[in-house]
Structure 1
Amino acid sequence: MRPSLIPLSLAVLFTSTGLRAELSVPSFFSKGMVLQRERDAAIWGKANPGGEVTVSFKGQSATAKAGADGKWRATIPTGSADASGAVLSVKSGDESVEIADVLVGEVWFASGQSNMFFTMDRVEAYADLVKATNLPGLRFFNAPLVTAVEPQEDISGEWVSATPETVPGCSAVAFFFARKLHLDLGIPVGVIKSAWGGKPVETFTSREALNTLPGTKALVDSLLAEDKVFDPATAQTAYEKRLADWEAAVKAWRAKPADQRGRLEKKPASPKRPLDTEGRPSADGRIVFISISMS
């Protein structure tokens, strides 16, 4: 899997799943974050439905109105690169959220499979470099490895600067890339890592998006229909019959002379919901399209 590094204005998209009246922002808008320089950065969250929200940063302000579902979104200019650390404030009525130590610089998204997920604590040759690293302007946000049937509006996690304590958990590819960029440009660099070994991009693609691909809608529809009619009790009964037949076949096979034994079928697997089974729709959110093995 070839890892990818894609610049962005700190925009991770999530959908709303519920209504909360209190003023709030997702956890990735938190202390120590980095915003993309010279862009209109999107800031969003929740507030009282219909309430006015004001976002302020480095002398600039922007307002937004929360919708009926409480969701709001505002954009605010970030200006040039700044390593001094500023406060981004969000206010609505008598409620406020303040995010301290916000830097402005380059923000990159590090995505991929095992190559991108491979962490610095596994790179023994650079142990001395890790111990010597203390770069306050180089920061990382590591997205947790979680699965969900529906897109989530928030994730856990925090921004951390590059220190001997934090670098071991960083993606090695992302660290070396971001470190060079930070040192060459002399400005803050932030990396959001969302990588998971063995997960195809379809894992993180919504059904609506998959339906836009040629031939995919029929596949997704058929697999979801299969899961909808799945009955655990019926599947268990069928499995027990297959298992009994298999055990009888094994017994008969062992009773034959060695030169008369054919190949035994594989032992049947215990039943699982189609959506929870590897190679079936949405196993950890995954749909496997084709797998080929050659030897």
Structure 2
Amino acid sequence: MVHVVTFQAETRTGAGPASRLAINVMAPPAHAQGLASREEMVRAMLRTAADGGVGVVATRPFSDMERLLGQCWPFPSPFRVTVRTVSAAEGLDRVEARARRSLERMGLPRGEAIMVSSATDLAGAEGRALWDRLERLRDMGLFRRIGVCARVEDGPELLARRFRPDLVELPCNLLDQRAAVSGLIEGLAGHGISVQLRSIFAGGVLFAPREDLPAHLVRAGSGVSRARRSLAESRADPMQAALAYGMMLPGVETVSVGVPSAAELRAVLAAAHAPAPDLDWAALALNDPATLGAAGSSAVSSAA
């Protein structure tokens, strides 16, 4: 049975770099046998996150992860929790019902933010009606903020002017710096919109050998190799450099990272607290960063 989580009155915002991490707890691997084993793995990740001062847990309405989180929250929980919508193609009633169900499955009386999972849902004919539904959920006290998960290609500035979200999530990393160099992040922040970064590890590309790059990134192989060589010559750890880059950008509130295990989360926490390396950040960007757009996962070991 899912227990109701009591939240502390104050979060750890401002307590350190970890408070600016939004972790997406990934499903335990297939080799984890039995419900008890899977729950213990999730509990270990949440304990590690709580002890490390992580501020936000980001969730998605897939698999049974929400139910597992509901079984495993530390008590009292220090986390602010964000929830993603299902596709608007499933119907507005389904979007609203599933958002409510997400909170129920996690045993939460309310969430920090409800995130539109794709900006294209707002660009369609039902965009305004969808936003009205989400505003109603916010006004009822089920969520404190409303956000949008967008790409640079979606024209987030126009969406922000039309809907005035509280939060926009964008991809940005060492290899794809478009959201930063274009002024998009600072522009959104200047209008009072919080910005969360995703894909901070560039789909795991910074950690994978060139021969293991997916097909859509083969043409970017030389640029990836150049960036990795530059990091190596500077004796900079790729994970530390990636997190330092995201966290130093003006206007960035949080950085989203997928974590499949407590051990990998500990590595992320250590990297987040490490001193920022002295690098020529602009020189690390790919000439054609849009090629990274096909990398969809956010796990540390693959596409975080």
The normalised TM-score by structure 1 is: 0.29
Q: Which has the higher contact order (CA 8 A, sep 6+)?
A: 2
Q: Please say which structure displays the higher CA radius of gyration.
A: 1
Larger relative helix fraction: 2
